Structure 1
Amino acid sequence: MKAGADMEIAGKAVCVFLLLTIIKLRRTEGIDRVSANLGHSTVMTCQNKTNITMVTWKINLKTGRQCSLAYLRGHKAERINCSNRINWRSRPDWDQALVIQQVGRADEGNYTCEVMNADGNFDRHYHLTVLASPRMALYCDDHGNPVCEAETVKPAAEIWWVPESNSTPRADSHDNGTVTVLSRFTAHSTSGKNPTCTVSHATLNETKSIACFPSHRHLVLYIAIILGFLMIITFAAAIYYLKLHDYRFCHKTKPPDIIPTYSSQDDTVEVEPYTTYVQKENVIYNSVSDLTLRQNLPQGRSPAT
């Protein structure tokens, strides 16, 4: 009796296990696996149903965070704990698709769309994987120095130069799970060869060479500095030369002595008034003398002329 009961319990346990396994397999088969490139956008759609009463997006991220978007017909759409980058593609009353802008590593996880209408409930499951394509860049900076840059998923890539560089690479980590390594070539001499950068990483192995020259902007600046220096030297030499020869830039000059000149006409003009005055005096004197002489003469005689 007891043995029969134990067998029955064991049989039920096996049935439950098989049922759970089948459900799990069916759920696994029903998951759409999608991938998105890091920094790009991706779209996930729901079941194509009409007369939708309610639609909900349930999101379980790989980081453990959960969020959801919900819309009930005739009501305003709601957002719970979701980033602004995750939103409806358009109006949820006629387009229930979900869009993720600038996909990051933290957006990896499971996305489920639940649609409800008069025919029942319909689910669609997604598993999002974010792909980070490695990137290498080799360029010349403003000073004409070669710069090698590599962006990869963690861990950081390794960079080395041929010939060997004296600089130390700098690594910057980003929120999307990538890391950028930057190295500037600062060797004293390249022995006539173009510097070569090599990037090594699990997702990227690449080698590039580049030839850099001083920028025209700095060349013009150097020429201007040299010309200004030469002008200063020339000006100083000119001042020294003039001082050496006792030359004064500013000095008073004595005006030349002016000797007055006289003409005979001026003498005539100056003497003429005096002559006229003397002549008048003589006339008056002669008149007085004649009058006096007449008074003193006897009557009947006249003065001699």
Structure 2
Amino acid sequence: MKIAGKTMCVFVLLTITRLMRTVGNNRVSATVGSSSELNCSHKSNITMVTWKISPTVGGPCTMGYRADQNKTDRTNCSDSMNWKFRPDGDPTLEIRHVGIAHEGNYTCELVTTEGNFHKTYYLTVLVPPRLALYCDNHGDPVCEAAAGKPAAQVAWVLDSNSTPREEGHDNGTVTVLSKLTARSTNMTNATCIVSHPAGNQSKTIACHPSKNNVFILYVSIILCFLSITTFMAVIYYFKLHSDRLCHKTKPLESAPVHTPQDDTMEVEPYTTYVQKENTIYNSVSDLTVGQNLPQGLSLAT
């Protein structure tokens, strides 16, 4: 039990000592294109120092120095990173022409006669946006903060009726577009302010509605009205014409059913007529014959 207690005390003491010798993570930032310096703990009697870099994009790299061999080495590190001074006296790391690819974690591990020390940084690369202010086809001012990192904040002076929109890019930058859709009638100029950790910018512009757009708008309204009027007239014409056709056209009567009795009724009048004609013809013939007989002869009754 005593041994376990002593072991625990030793472990706690070692942990406390290590924490006391360790400096917490530090967040630093650098503007793209500038230079950045990351210093390590200033200790004398350096035995070995190693910088371990883990960028956000790409593979890791290391830079080291050994005092017993008086030798430095580097693995997978670009030429833009190097020792600022002699590593045995000051192991500060210098990054020249900072780029987006340099963003990431940087850890310095230092071995001295006094003990081991390490210090970690997280480097954030700032990309100032390119400010552009222009008037669109409708005469509205548009403010563009292009390819900034992080995304910029866009605002308008004396007017907050804007519609910001963000568009991300593959390299981590963001473009912000803000359009001022409604301005006061007494406002002649529009001022855009872009806020960014790398610096603030502002521009002013005066936009006026395009005369061509106004003319096109009026023409569109007139054409739309004429189209609706023509459509209604065509519908009225076809409706009126269809009503007249309905009044003129009579429904077809159904054909009568033909029966054999109808044939008999049609034949009987013809037969009666023929019989009467034959009787009349016979009478006339008899009369004619009687008139042509010799004297003393008469028609037999």
TM-score by length of 2: 0.44
TM-score by length of 1: 0.43
